[in-house]
């Protein structure tokens, strides 16, 4: 056990960090104590500095608080323990590519069990942008139906020449790109992967979030991809906390849930609404995007899109990066919701990409 007086002066106060994480999750001391199988009295002692928790208990608390890798290591260091991975490791956007289906983009014909050609093309462009064809994991976020035992990701990886890279599908609807980002961030932060190719492709999927405009259908039928690499958590392109949520009973309006998730994503990187340079909001209903932008004080010229479906958000980012609408240094808020039941948000400072 390390006494308070022995803690370096630049190390965060454990009690303050723990209380802030608990507050963000909306948990009382009693709630967290019960979830972490510790007495409320002991947790109170930890928060007020009268007791220092062991490494095992602290990791258990971090798990119950859904702390990301950087937050977990902050807790460990504040308590006098070594971080799990020295230095904060972040998942950094390293390349991007997209295909918008305007009738000329490559598409599959007939075989719904095979990966869409647009997914392969988007992945190829993202790898080219990253300047390296090497990745160790491929994730395909898609709402397109496939045949049992025939996920799209292994075939996409094979067609991209990625050898024995790990590959799996993420079956989602409109929020698939952000749910895929959350998975990719976890793979990088845990050390399971050094480089991840995330592709969002809904070609061949039914329209999941009506009503759809003609423009939104083009985004839905296209594909978008990003390459994420391990890097510093504070460098441009590093993703902050990806906030995810579901509400199958629709107990609260999705717009309210999405707004709250956006605030949490901004808070995780120290932003306020006035800091947003670009808003990329995924949903086929423009009214929802307008409402969210209004509450966040984001003018129309700072919104990216239109975007529809998982593929739409990813390809919208790729197109904006290509035409200069999205530039290095821009503070970008990504949001998505689907069917009034699933929502997601994340924030990052856009990096300088190769192409």
**Confidence band for 234, pLDDT divided at 50, 70 and 90:** confident
Same structural domain, 193 and 278: no
- Boundary residue ending a domain (212, 232, 252): 232
Same structural domain, 162 and 200: yes
CA–CA dist 137, 226 (Å, integer) = 12
CATH of the domain at 131: 3.40.47.10
8 Å CB contact between 281 and 288: yes
**Confidence band for 310, pLDDT divided at 50, 70 and 90:** low
* 2 in a structural domain: no
- Residue 131 corresponds to which tokens in the numbers above? 């300047």
Whether 2 shows a pLDDT value over 50: the answer reads no
Same structural domain, 95 and 120: yes
Same structural domain, 218 and 262: no
Please give the pLDDT value at position 175: 75
CA–CA dist 210, 284 (Å, integer) = 7
- For the ranges 119-123, 186-190, 232-236, which has the lowest average pLDDT? 232-236
8 Å CB contact between 309 and 209: yes
Greatest Cα-to-Cα distance within the chain, rounded to the nearest angstrom: 69
Same structural domain, 150 and 249: no
* Domain range enclosing 281: 243-349
CATH of the domain at 55: 1.10.260.40
List the Cα angle 22/245/281 in 5-degree steps: 115
Same structural domain, 155 and 54: no
CA–CA dist 131, 228 (Å, integer) = 12
* 111 in a structural domain: yes
Same structural domain, 129 and 197: yes
CA–CA dist 344, 336 (Å, integer) = 5
CA–CA dist 335, 146 (Å, integer) = 26
CA–CA dist 135, 132 (Å, integer) = 8
- Which ranges in the chain belong to alpha helices (H)? 14-24, 29-35, 40-47, 55-64, 69-78, 117-130, 152-159, 176-190, 214-221, 254-268, 286-295, 309-323
- Residue 292 corresponds to which tokens in the numbers above? 């969210």
**Confidence band for 1, pLDDT divided at 50, 70 and 90:** very low
Average pLDDT over the chain, rounded to whole?
A: 79
* 237 in a structural domain: no
Span 203-226, average pLDDT? 60
Please give the pLDDT value at position 198: 96
Please give the pLDDT value at position 250: 66
Residues with Cβ within 8 Å of residue 19, at least 6 apart in sequence: 47
Same structural domain, 144 and 223: yes
Helices (H) and strands (E) in the chain, counts: 12, 10
Between the CA of residue 238 and those of 105, 133, 231, 241, what are the distances in Å?
30, 20, 8, 10
Instruction: Tabulate helix, strand, coil % of the chain (nearest 5).
Output: 40, 20, 40
8 Å CB contact between 90 and 59: no
Between the CA of residue 314 and those of 64, 72, 142, what are the distances in Å?
31, 29, 12
8 Å CB contact between 130 and 138: no
145: number of Cβ within 10 Å: 11
Whether 33 shows a pLDDT value over 70: the answer reads yes
Please give the pLDDT value at position 205: 57
Identify which of 82-96, 130-144, 270-284, 296-310 has the greatest average pLDDT. Answer: 130-144
CA–CA dist 192, 270 (Å, integer) = 28
Same structural domain, 281 and 220: no
């Amino acid at each position: 056990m390390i006494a308070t007086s022995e803690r370096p002066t630049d190390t965060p106060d454990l009690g303050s960090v723990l209380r802030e994480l608990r507050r963000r999750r909306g948990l009382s001391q009693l709630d967290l104590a019960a979830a972490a199988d510790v007495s409320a009295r002991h947790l109170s002692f930890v928060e007020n500095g009268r007791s220092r928790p062991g490494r095992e208990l602290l990791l258990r608390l971090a798990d119950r608080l859904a702390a990301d890798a950087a937050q977990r290591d902050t807790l460990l260091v504040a308590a006098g323990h070594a971080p799990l991975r020295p230095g904060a490791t972040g998942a950094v956007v390293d390349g991007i590519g997209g295909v918008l289906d305007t009738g000329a983009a490559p598409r599959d014909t007939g075989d719904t069990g095979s990966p869409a050609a647009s997914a392969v093309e988007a992945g190829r462009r993202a790898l080219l942008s990253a300047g390296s064809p090497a990745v160790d994991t491929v994730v395909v976020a898609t709402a397109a139906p496939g045949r049992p035992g025939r996920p799209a990701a292994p075939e996409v990886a094979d067609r991209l020449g990625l050898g024995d890279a790990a590959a799996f599908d993420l079956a989602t609807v409109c929020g698939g790109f952000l749910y895929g980002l959350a998975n990719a961030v976890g793979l990088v932060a845990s050390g399971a992967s050094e480089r991840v190719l995330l592709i969002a492709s809904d070609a061949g999927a039914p329209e999941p979030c009506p009503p759809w405009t003609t423009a939104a259908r083009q985004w839905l039928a296209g594909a978008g991809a990003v390459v994420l690499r391990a890097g510093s958590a504070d460098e441009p392109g590093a993703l902050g906390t990806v906030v995810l949520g579901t509400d199958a009973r629709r107990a609260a309006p999705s717009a309210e849930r999405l707004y709250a998730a956006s605030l949490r994503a901004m808070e995780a990187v120290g932003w306020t609404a006035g800091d947003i340079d670009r808003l990329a909001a995924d949903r086929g209903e423009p009214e929802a995007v307008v409402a969210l932008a209004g509450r966040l004080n984001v003018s129309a010229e700072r919104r990216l899109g239109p975007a529809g479906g998982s593929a739409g958000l990813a390809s919208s980012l790729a197109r904006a990066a290509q035409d200069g609408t999205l530039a290095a240094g821009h503070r970008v808020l990504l949001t998505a919701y689907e069917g009034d039941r699933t929502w997601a948000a994340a924030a990052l400072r856009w990096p300088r990409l190769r192409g």
